């Protein structure tokens, strides 16, 4: 049982590495409290397809082979994810620098914003791809249970007031 928990913990850590890097990257001052930031921090948890899947995997009674394959998926993706985070960070620094410039350069700001958007978009695609690859490893019963867990979390996130109306 100890080996199971250690292996699962290692797999989840590797999978969450990219998200953790993103969470600690320095956002531009105006992006700190925007709607996208709030979407990912409701109740102190990360939400979205990949966040739901990582939490749900703990409850699926995965085989050793499944845990190994999931670890490999996340491990293989980590370098590319890190490269995208470098691009996000560089574009945020450029936008910050432009915001402090004596003269505003709208073309440079647009280029930096576009670079940031492209890097964030690529990261989103990478996360969805990894989530899909992991999902393909699951049995139909595990997929069904994962879907049920995801729906339960969504219901709890909505809260009692939103569930009624």
Expressed as residue numbers, the domain containing 118 is 7-156
164: in domain: no
Q: What does the mean pLDDT of the chain come to? A: 75
Bigger pLDDT: 10 vs 71: 71
38: in domain: yes
What pLDDT score was predicted for residue 53? 56
Going by pLDDT thresholds of 50, 70 and 90, the confidence category of residue 31 is very low
80: in domain: yes
Residue-wise pLDDT for 102-143, tens only, equals 999 999 999 999 999 999 999 999 999 999 999 999 999 999
Q: How many structural domains is the chain composed of?
A: 1
Residue 16 has pLDDT above 80, yes or no: no
1: in domain: no
88: in domain: yes
- Model confidence pTM above 0.75: no
What pLDDT score was predicted for residue 150? 86
119: in domain: yes
C-alpha span between 136 and 141 (Å, rounded): 12
Going by pLDDT thresholds of 50, 70 and 90, the confidence category of residue 162 is low
2: in domain: no
SS3 sequence of 2-55:
HHHHHHHHHHHHHHHHHHHHHHHCCCCHHHCCCHHHHHCCHHHCCCCHHHHHHH
42: in domain: yes
């Amino acid at each position: 049982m100890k080996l199971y928990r250690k292996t699962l913990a290692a797999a989840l850590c590797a999978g969450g590495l990219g998200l953790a890097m993103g969470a600690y990257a320095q956002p531009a001052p105006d992006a700190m409290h925007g709607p996208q930031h709030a979407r990912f921090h409701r109740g102190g948890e990360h939400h979205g397809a990949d966040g739901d899947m990582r939490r749900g995997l703990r409850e699926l009674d995965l085989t050793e082979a499944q845990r190994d394959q999931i670890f490999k998926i996340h491990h293989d993706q980590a370098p590319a994810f890190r490269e995208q985070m470098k691009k996000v960070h560089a574009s945020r620094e450029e936008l910050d620098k432009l915001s402090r410039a004596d003269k505003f350069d709208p073309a440079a700001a647009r280029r930096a914003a576009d670079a940031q958007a492209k890097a964030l978009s690529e990261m989103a695609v990478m996360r969805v791809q990894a989530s899909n690859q992991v999902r393909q490893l699951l049995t139909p019963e595990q997929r069904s249970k994962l879907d049920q867990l995801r729906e339960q979390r969504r219901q709890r996130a909505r809260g009692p007031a939103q569930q009624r109306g």
